[in-house]
Amino acid sequence: MAKTPTGLTAADLFERNRKWAASMVEQDAGFFSDLASQQAPEYLWIGCSDSRVPANELLGMAPGELFVHRNIANVVAHSDLNALSVIQFAVDVLKVKHIILCGHYGCSGVGAALNYTRVGLADNWLGHVRDVREKHGKYLGNVAGKAAADRLVELNVAEQVINIAQSTVVRDAWERDQPLTIHSWVYGVHDGLLRDLGITISGQAEIEPKLQAVLQGYLESPK
């Protein structure tokens, strides 16, 4: 795919939009009419706002197949009504069957939290990731540099998965036996591939053993 030129004006972007819409209709004349008639995704994707992590594209999914929420460093805080409202709408209204929490290697937000780098107002938001660093510091003790940043990315994913699982929306869904599975993934910007951290949970009883298995692996791993 050709690289998008820099310095595009608003008029340029509208023109690119018209060409894209025309190409979609050329491939499927009913594409937009079908899309407008309903929204019935089975997946909620919670990921980072990083422009290099396009959720639909990296999963090979078309518009309408993925409900998406993004923020800096893919955080799900218990006090964040934005994220919680998205989860509630996805679970209670859209009846998604899967929630994918996906971080990515090379996350600048996680890197700033790891190294206590000041970036401005976002420092307040990244306090959530610094909390993860402090909470799970012993799992960072045997790594440094890029390896430490990668591990904090993974630990942050693990922590946010637990936050999702402990939300009232998800607990209520499981209590009424609604099928719902939470996934812990990390995307490699350097190779375009997804990794499964192994914290895949479909009920409260699965949280602790799967989390501990992943954390124990960090203690045993040399890097």
Closest CA to 67 of 51, 52, 83: 83
Task: Please list the helix, strand and coil fractions of the chain in percent, rounded to the nearest 5, in that order.
Answer: 50, 15, 35
Contact 160, 186 (CB under 8 A): no
Please indicate whether residue 52 is annotated as part of the active site.
yes
Q: Using N-to-C axis directions, what is the helix angle for 168-175 and 145-165, rounded to 10°?
A: 50
In the annotation, is 104 catalytic? yes
Query: Given 69, 102, 104, 150, which residue is catalytic?
Result: 104
Q: Quick check: is 151 catalytic?
A: no
Reply yes or no on whether 183 is catalytic.
no
Active-site residue among 16, 18, 52, 171?
52
Distances (CA, A) of 89 to 22, 28, 44, 127, 213: 31, 29, 10, 26, 31
Q: How many whole angstroms separate alpha carbon 95 and alpha carbon 75?
A: 22
| Region label for 74, one of left (φ > 0), alpha (ψ between -120 and 50) or beta (otherwise) | left
- Whether 150 and 218 have beta carbons less than 8 Å apart is answered as no
Catalytic option among 16, 28, 34, 50: 50
- Active site residues per annotation: 48, 50, 52, 104, 107
